Chains A and B, each alone.
Chain A
Amino acid sequence: MKLMPRLAFAIAALALAATALPAAAQQLKPEDQIHLRQSTMALVGYNFGILAAMAQEKRPFEKAEAERAAEILPKLAALPGRFFGEGTEKGGNTKAKPEIWKNMDDFRKKLEAMQQQVAMLPQAAGDLASLKKQVSETGKACKSCHDDYRAK
């Protein structure tokens, strides 16, 4: 019986493929992926916006609110990257440039660089001086990716 090993191999291959890509991206329609990456980015933007406003002294520094925003950001920043699957380069009002899918490795690298900076926000949120520094560094990581991969 040659069927069983073949079937097992096919299942194993499928399972491997499924783990290679984020599960979310596999099951979602492109439309939903675009919606989710924009929604999660909006939440990242909302929370980072609070920190940026404090860093720029456009709103008073409040330790509790800064820490709340800084602590949720690493979890939020991990999300948008899941929703750049194949077939999502067009649709809706996406500003994602097709270059993302041509340079996926570089795109992922920049996404990770952003996540590394965001991960340092919680420990910097305790005082305004260190928050300013870390917001500035994080902003640079945002910009380096936006410059290349986000339409203006």
Chain B
Amino acid sequence: MNGRARRVRVWDLPTRIFHWTLAVLVVFSFTTGKIGGDWMAWHLRSGYAVLTLVLFRIAWGFAGSETARFARFLRGPRAAFSHAREVLAGRHAIAAGHTPLGGWMIVAMLAAAAFQASTGLFSDDEIATQGPLAVKVSNAMVSRMSSLHAIGQWVMVTLAVLHVAAIAFYRWRLGVRLVGPMVTGWSAFPLAQEPPRMRPAWIALVLMCACALGVWWLVEIYPMR
């Protein structure tokens, strides 16, 4: 890390809460799905929470703080490749928020989580557990969704492992600590650059409540209609 730097808030509270809750729920969903049986009730609840979080994160990607916005961290493939070359060469320029490569990882993981949460809604384990929307579609669709849900878990696991591996690579090869800022929100930042603008957390709270309400309607009210 060259140049003069100061400590700046890079991750707002909603983004951090989103991140750590999702991390816990992904592990929890995977585990309860494997154990099955009585834990399936919790597997379903966990899935509803994941769906809520992903919807919130998409909304926050448009209405949230600067570092959380898709428009800011989604870069073209050329930027991602050149960043990958830099990183593999052991160089890393400090910047607030997601790197061009990390940005695409966010999209991939959000997509995988959304895929798991939504295919799960239509799945049936043909023992004693059924997603709330399985009654709404044909059995052929339920069968297809259940297969996709079973395959998709390994996509999610692969992405999570890559994510952790990348963090370890940054820590041990580049000397960049990424976990700390995701906990505290603070990170070193070049003095010359304008710090990222943050949005108040109450906006996130309103968005989160709206997402939770939508998911609740989808899994509790709509199936009964």
- List the interface of chain A (C-beta within 8 A of B): 45, 48-49, 52, 55-56, 135-136, 139-140, 142-143, 146, 152
Contact = CB atoms under 8 A, between A and B. Distances in A.
Given A139-B36, A143-B36, A152-B146, A56 B127 contact: no
Contact of A136 (B37, B126, B146, B151): B37
Interface string B22-40: 0000000000000011100
A59 to B, nearest CB: 13
A48 B130 CA distance: 13
B150 interface: yes
Contact of B150 (A45, A56, A140, A152): A152
A143 B147 contact: no
A136 B129 CA distance: 12
B126 A146 contact: yes
B128 interface: yes
A60 B8 CA distance: 56
Interface of B: 36-38, 41, 125-128, 146-147, 150-151
A30 B127 CA distance: 25
B147 A49 contact: no
26 contacts: A45-B126, A48-B127, A48-B128, A49-B128, A52-B127, A52-B128, A55-B128, A56-B41, A56-B128, A135-B128, A136-B38, A139-B36, A139-B37, A139-B127, A139-B128, A140-B37, A142-B127, A142-B128, A143-B36, A143-B37, A143-B125, A146-B125, A146-B126, A146-B127, A152-B146, A152-B150
A55 B37 CA distance: 12
Contacts of B127: 48, 52, 139, 142-143, 146
A146 to B, nearest CB: 7
A27 B34 CA distance: 39
A100 B128 CA distance: 23
A74 B48 CA distance: 35
B40 to A, nearest CB: 9
Contacts of B151: 152
Which of B36, B128, B147, B150 counts the most chain A CB atoms within 10 A?
A: B128
Contacts of B150: 152
A93 B150 CA distance: 18
Contacts of A52: 127-128
A146 B150 CA distance: 13
Nearest to A143: B36
Contacts of A45: 126
Nearest to B123: A152
A143 B127 CA distance: 7
A136 B36 CA distance: 10
Nearest to B149: A152
Nearest to A53: B128
A142 B129 CA distance: 12
A52 B125 CA distance: 12
Contacts of B128: 48-49, 52, 55-56, 135, 139, 142
